[in-house]
Amino acid sequence: MVPRRAVWHSRRCRADSGGLCGRTTENPNYYYIGNHIEVVQIDFDRAGISYVELLNIFWRSHNPRQLPTWSRQYMDAVFYYGEEQAELARSKLNSEQAVGGEIYTLVEPLTAFYLAEDYHQKYYLRQETELMKEFDRMYDRAQFINSTVAAKVNGYVAGCGSLPALKAEIKEFGLSAAGCEKLEKLVSRNRR
């Protein structure tokens, strides 16, 4: 629904999970996506961030007038849940259409969400072996996928967020001193 890089550091989003949705293929996976689209499901606290704010982040974070460069798998899309979200998502789409030009971004109901394979979850964090060992000790598989901390650390490792922002919240992450030092070095290196 929303590009991950746009929300990784919103303190108001609790977690994200990579997956597939959008069409009819049953039980898709990365090797047999069928007619689905790669997506991220966002768990958010409506008291902290509204669906409209997430829609605004989404529409600012991509070019809705650009055809997908590779295939349907990589299309930009909003999948809404329920009538309230449908109305808001369609309203935003209508606003974009009023600007002019053909819109290729899809706005559709969420019919099913298929969780992507583990190696697609928190991808950037998984590339950092030392940090992953700490997360493996802290969380089981489901907890890791749904972890707010893992989502935030993944974002920092991916190059989103500043060193001052990290220092303001790193103590909440439950990492060892060595883990904190490793993460700070990564963020310092990414921000040059």
Tokens of 185: 């070095």
pLDDT band at 8 (very low <50, low <70, confident <90, very high): low
Q: Say if residue 11's pLDDT is above 70.
A: no
| pLDDT band for position 159 (cuts 50, 70, 90) | confident
Q: Is residue 1's pLDDT more than 50?
A: no
Report the run of H or E that residue 43 belongs to, with start and end.
Answer: strand 37-44
pLDDT in tens, 21-30: 988 888 898 8
State the pLDDT at residue 3.
46
Q: Does the pLDDT of residue 65 top 80, yes or no?
A: yes
For residue 143, name the pLDDT band (cuts at 50, 70, 90). Answer: very high
CATH of domain 4-115: 3.30.1060.10
Q: Which residues make up the CATH 3.30.1060.10 domain(s) of the chain?
A: 4-115
CA of residue 92 relative to chain centroid, distance:
20
- Residues making up the chain, counted from first to last: 192
Among 164, 136, 168, CA closest to 150 = 136
Give the Cα separation of 152 and 122 in Å (integer). 9
Beta bridge partners, 100, equal: none
Give yes or no for residue 186 having a pLDDT over 50: yes
Is the pLDDT assigned to residue 111 strictly greater than 80?
yes
Instruction: Tell me the mean pLDDT in the region 11-21.
Output: 77
